[in-house]
Amino acid sequence: MLLCRIVLFFVPCVGQTGWLYLRTWPNPVFEGDTLTLQCQGWKNTALSQVQFYKDRKLLHNPKAKWFLPMGTATLKSSGQYSCAGKMTFIPHLGTQRSEMTTVQVQELFPPPVLSAVPSPELREGSPLTLRCQTELHPQRSASRLLFSFHKDGHTLQNWGPHSELCLPGAQEGTSGLYWCQATHEGSRVQKQSPQLEVRVQAPVSQPLLTLRPRSTGLAVGDTVELLCETQSGSPPILYSFYLDGKILENHCAPHGGAVSFPFTVTSEQEAGNYSCQAENSVSKETSEPTTLSLDGPRGLSALTSSHWLVPCLSASLLGVLVIATALVAYFRPWRKPGPLPSRNLPPAPGGEQHQLYANVTQQNENEEDDIYSSVTIVPKESEGRFCHLHRGEMLAVR
């Protein structure tokens, strides 16, 4: 008892937590280092029943004595650490606790960023360079990093000191999702970049225009189909059909392939040179012209060759004359002087309407009012379709 009092007499007033202190190493600590905690007593006094805490929560380790290996340090290892224990030769002091020690794990290198030079969207055949960019902490700059490159789950280049991967001639098959990884040589720290989508656009080839069922021997009333197709080119592809250089119609092929433009020949003016044009975000090409020729209006030629053409025309004219006379006799007595009453006509689709007046006649010189035998509402068409190309343009499709 006397010995204990003598020992206490020579102990300096170091406060409640001055008996223990926590030591961590290495210091500073980086990702990948082996972090170790050591609890020490005043003047290296032996300790018993030592426990370690992180952020005031007990770290369970039944084998811990004076030190505790924490394994490989990560950024999540950062926190407030402390230890508690009893002084072996001064048991009456009870359990003592050290002050808090802040452990801040330094980032060895930031996650890499993958970039494509000159651009992640490029034309087929252009060179492509992938760069995996990151750098070591200045305090660890004496060591080096290793890099690897990957695409769609496959390894393109295994671990090596080069941070760039060159692809001399990009093809359509080069398109895909790329990423890279970086690691510190001699450690287990590995970090992956976000994925980067590379899109290689192939130009369209010259399209081929086909007329079905044929391009000659046609007549008015026949149905013709124009088929336009390009053998190569990245979609979407916009096809345009022309007659003697004047555009007829546009069609968009979102996934590529051929498109058709069917129509019925209504007059001899539809004979001529037809062509089609294929366009995507890289290029556009025009087909060779195809000539459509007509033999003549089939229905009219068949009618004129018939021997009953004159009786048929006479009967038709006589019928029209009788109907016209009956209509005039029927409506004439009922017309009253003055303007015609206005009627609220229904609006045309789209909110705009155009009135087309037909058969406007004046009875005689003494009557000023006109008779409107027919009034037609012609709606204004404003429908439109669009073809979205990768380069950001939105082309109207007629």
Q: Which residues contact 182 (CB under 8 A, 6 or more apart)?
A: 109, 111, 112, 132, 134, 145, 146, 147, 190, 191, 193
Q: What is the pLDDT of residue 344?
A: 42
pLDDT of residue 351: 40
Are 209 and 276 contacting, i.e. CB atoms less than 8 angstroms apart?
yes
Residue 214 pLDDT: 76
Q: Produce one character per residue of 49-58: b if its CB has 16 or more CB atoms within 10 Å, e if not.
A: ebbbbbeeee
Q: Supply the CATH classification number for the domain 207-292.
A: 2.60.40.10
Domain with CATH 2.60.40.10 in the chain: 20-106, 113-201, 207-292
State residue 138 phi and psi, 5-degree precision: -55, -35
Helix (H, G, I), strand (E, B) or coil at 66: coil
What's the pLDDT score for residue 384?
A: 36
Q: What is the pLDDT of residue 301?
A: 36
pTM here is 0.59
Q: Residue 317's pLDDT is what? A: 59
Task: Please name the fold of domain 20-106.
Answer: Immunoglobulin-like (2.60.40)
What's the pLDDT at 370? 44
pLDDT of 320: 62
pLDDT of residue 318: 60
Where helices occur in the chain by DSSP H, the ranges are: 2-9, 298-304, 309-331
DSSP state of 161: S
pLDDT tens sequence for the chain (398 residues): 334 444 443 444 433 457 898 999 998 999 999 999 999 888 878 888 888 999 999 987 766 678 899 999 999 999 999 999 888 777 777 888 999 999 999 999 999 999 999 999 999 999 999 999 999 999 998 889 999 999 998 999 999 999 999 999 898 889 999 999 999 998 889 999 999 999 999 999 999 999 988 767 788 888 899 999 999 898 999 999 999 999 999 999 998 889 999 999 988 889 999 999 999 988 999 999 999 888 755 543 333 333 433 344 455 556 667 576 766 555 554 444 444 444 343 443 344 444 433 344 444 444 444 444 333 333 333 333 446 554 444 454 54
pLDDT at residue number 296: 56
**Rounded distance between C-alpha atoms, residue 91 and residue 259, angstroms:** 94
Q: What fold is seen in the domain 113-201? A: Immunoglobulin-like (2.60.40)
d(CA 296, CA 285): 33
